[in-house]
Amino acid sequence: MTARQVKKKEGLNLESITYGDLTWVNIEHPTEKETEYLAQNYSFHPLDLDDCLSRIQRPKIDEYKDYLFLVFHFPVFYKETRVTASSQLSVFIGQGYLITLHKGELKPLVKLFKECQIDEEARQEHFGQGSSYLLYRIIDRLVAYCLPIL
């Protein structure tokens, strides 16, 4: 199997990786442009798209017929200021796709996406069992990253 990698869409903070039947769309620093793109290409509820841009959205799971919308918060430690803050991860997951939206502060998520872009074995390992397994791998890495902070 080979991966089809789509570079950043013009004017959008959006990258995607397709491997087999699964596409991971990763959006760092989402703006209204990216949520408009998602609205045009997916049938997501408009309030979910608004929640992706909200700074103080509560963690939640919204269940729909064709997808789940999840909001997580993970602690991030800033060494320079020695301050711990919360960073939001918004996720749309459905059959054949996983869409992550975040501010780029969650290092394990950024690192995993880059690994999957450049490494065939990483794509095979993480994409091979579907979107739910890929989400599990992302959350597993983020929780492991957070444990020393907590």
27-81 tens-digit pLDDT: 999 999 999 999 999 999 999 999 999 878 899 999 999 999 999 999 888 888 9
Q: Tell me, what CATH number does 14's domain have?
A: 3.30.460.20
Count of structural domains, the chain: 1
Q: Determine if the pTM surpasses 0.85.
A: yes
d(CA 132, CA 93): 7
- Structure token digits, residue 130: 């579907």
**Per-residue pLDDT, 9:** 63
In the chain, % of residues over pLDDT 70: 93
Q: How far apart are CA 136 and CA 72, in angstroms?
A: 13
Domain, as residue range, for 133: 3-146
Model pLDDT, residue 143: 95
Q: Are 49 and 39 a contacting pair, CB within 8 Å?
A: yes
**Which tens digit of pLDDT belongs to each residue from 96-133?**
999 999 998 899 999 999 999 999 999 999 999 999 99
* Strands of 3-6's sheet in order across: 3-6, 14-19, 22-28, 97-102, 83-94, 67-78, 60-63
State how far the alpha carbon of 46 is from the alpha carbons of 89, 91, 103, in Å. Answer: 17, 14, 20
Check pLDDT > 50 for residue 1: no
**Per-residue pLDDT at 8:** 59
Could you tell me if 14 and 37 are in contact, meaning their C-beta atoms sit under 8 angstroms apart?
yes
